[in-house]
């Protein structure tokens, strides 16, 4: 299987378009035309993971964290990065990372964490806007079904948990074909009036090229009239974090114990709360999510789980919300399982493995 085909499968659910500006997700090292023998999935790219891939004949490693994040100013033998790159190039290994696209997708890490906590009514905590567009086009009445079906198959018409969404109204279109044309209806040099259907539908911005291609392929006209509008709507399925409700309220101490057991934590840092008696609404964000602590507070969550929390973050949460630091590794190691399950369903009977060398770099005494 070609690497490019695997990338398309990954980015169908975790598009690079939604990654954060600071991120470096995507193909880090590789040849899109390479034939892939096997895939190894890991949280980070360390030397043990690379050696594991070589041993298991996996020439594609997929990680959550991009191992090249900032500009490289120099490479010298003996440096950690040089040694990694040397090992990768010598063994013709391809490396792909899905970092914030996996964090922000509704099929990604944060929703998986919420499900692990058995939360109900799960939603994105901080959904993103300006990611949606509207397409308006016009076609002959008896071609409307074909055009709509083509657009829907390309990914248009999805609103929340509904698909095949469109608005349609009939009207009369006019045009005059020029000398160098081959009109589907009407005659050259004459104004023609054609009963048409106006089709409006919504689509995510990163699918623009696919949507236009589907429209042009299915539409009978030589020149297809269409408009694309940028929408300010919030995308309910893309954004940071997740929020949901516990089936039953829990005492603070019971909830702390529950979280500690779920994530197998040797210790758990949390904020002081005096006025929160029960935990019902829970918000979370994998990795370093202190920046959206105010969002969790504004949404009146009783508890907020994230990682890399600083002293002053706990201060901001004091007596407002139960803030828990569950650890960066502990909040993101679920990536390996999530990506493995996703790819195993999309490409069954393919050699996909979960790395045995994804580990935390933090120890506890």
Last residue of a domain, one of 185, 213, 231: 231
Distance separating alpha carbons of residues 26 and 178, to the nearest angstrom: 46
Same domain flag for 193 and 271:
no
362 by Cβ neighbours in 10 Å (0-12 / 13-18 / 19+) ranks as exposed
Same domain flag for 28 and 59:
yes
CATH of the domain at 160: 3.30.70.120
**Domain assignment present for 136:** yes
In degrees and rounded to multiples of 5, residue 187 shows phi and psi of: -125, 150
**Domain assignment present for 360:** no
Cα distances (angstroms) measured from residue 13 to each of 80, 81, 122, 209, 342: 33, 30, 18, 16, 9
Nearest to 41 by CA among 339, 359, 287: 339
- In the chain, the number of structural domains is 3
Distance separating alpha carbons of residues 94 and 92, to the nearest angstrom: 7
**Domain assignment present for 40:** yes
Same domain flag for 66 and 191:
no
**Domain assignment present for 312:** yes
- Looking at the chain, which runs of residues are DSSP E strands? 26-29, 39-42, 60-63, 94-97, 120-129, 132-140, 167-176, 191-204, 226-231, 234-251, 269-270, 278-288, 303-307, 322-325, 352-354
Last residue of a domain, one of 184, 212, 231: 231
Cα distances (angstroms) measured from residue 149 to each of 154, 165, 178, 197, 254: 9, 11, 30, 14, 51
Residue 157 has a CB neighbour count (10 Å cut-off) of: 21
Same domain flag for 110 and 174:
no
Distance separating alpha carbons of residues 123 and 323, to the nearest angstrom: 19
Same domain flag for 261 and 294:
yes
Same domain flag for 223 and 137:
yes
Same domain flag for 244 and 225:
no
**Domain assignment present for 25:** yes
**Domain assignment present for 359:** no
Q: What is the pLDDT of residue 332?
A: 97
Q: What is the pLDDT of residue 4?
A: 97
CATH of the domain at 282: 3.40.1390.30
Q: What is the pLDDT along the chain (365 residues), one digit of tens a residue?
A: 999 999 999 999 999 999 999 999 999 999 999 999 999 999 999 999 999 999 999 999 999 999 998 888 888 888 888 999 999 999 999 999 999 999 999 999 999 999 999 999 999 999 999 999 999 999 999 999 999 999 999 999 999 899 999 999 999 999 999 999 999 999 999 999 999 999 999 999 999 999 999 999 999 999 999 999 999 999 999 999 999 999 999 999 999 999 999 999 999 999 988 877 799 999 999 999 999 999 999 999 999 999 999 999 999 999 999 999 999 999 999 999 999 999 999 999 999 999 999 999 999 88
Structural domain including 67 reads 3-98+333-354
**Domain assignment present for 365:** no
Same domain flag for 319 and 339:
no
**Domain assignment present for 302:** yes
């Amino acid at each position: 299987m070609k690497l490019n085909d695997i990338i398309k499968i990954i980015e169908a659910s975790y598009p690079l378009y939604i990654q954060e500006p600071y991120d470096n997700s995507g193909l880090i090292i590789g040849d899109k035309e390479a034939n892939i023998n096997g895939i190894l999935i890991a949280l980070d790219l360390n030397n043990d993971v690379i050696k594991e891939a070589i041993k298991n004949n996996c020439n594609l490693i997929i990680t959550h964290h991009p191992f090249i994040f900032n500009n490289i100013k120099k490479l010298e033998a003996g440096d950690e990065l040089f040694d990694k790159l040397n090992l990768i190039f010598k063994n013709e290994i391809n490396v792909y990372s899905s970092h914030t696209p996996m964090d922000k997708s509704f099929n990604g890490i944060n929703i998986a964490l919420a499900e692990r906590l058995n939360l109900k009514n799960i939603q994105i905590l901080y959904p993103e806007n300006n990611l949606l567009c509207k397409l308006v086009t016009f076609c002959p009445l008896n071609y409307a079904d074909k055009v709509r079906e083509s657009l829907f198959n390309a990914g248009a018409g999805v609103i929340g948990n509904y698909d095949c969404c469109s608005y349609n109204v009939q009207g009369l279109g006019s045009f005059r074909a020029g000398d160098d044309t081959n009109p589907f209806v009407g005659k050259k040099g004459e104004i023609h009036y054609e009963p048409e259907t106006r089709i409006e539908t919504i689509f995510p911005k990163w699918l623009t090229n696919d949507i236009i291609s589907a429209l042009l392929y299915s539409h009978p006209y030589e020149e297809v009239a269409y408009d694309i509008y940028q929408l300010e709507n919030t995308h309910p399925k893309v954004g940071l974090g997740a929020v949901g409700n516990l089936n039953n309220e829990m005492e603070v101490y019971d909830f702390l114990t529950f979280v500690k057991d779920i994530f197998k934590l040797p210790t758990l840092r949390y904020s002081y709360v005096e006025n929160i008696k029960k935990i019902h609404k829970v918000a979370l964000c994998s990795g370093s999510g202190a920046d959206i602590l105010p969002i969790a507070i504004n949404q009146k969550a009783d508890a907020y789980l994230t990682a890399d929390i600083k002293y002053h973050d706990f201060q901001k949460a004091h007596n407002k919300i139960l803030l828990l630091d569950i650890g960066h590794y502990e909040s993101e190691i679920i990536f390996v399982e999530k990506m493995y399950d996703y790819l195993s369903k999309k490409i069954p009977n393919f050699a996909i493995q979960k790395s045995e060398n994804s580990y935390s770099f933090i120890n506890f005494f």
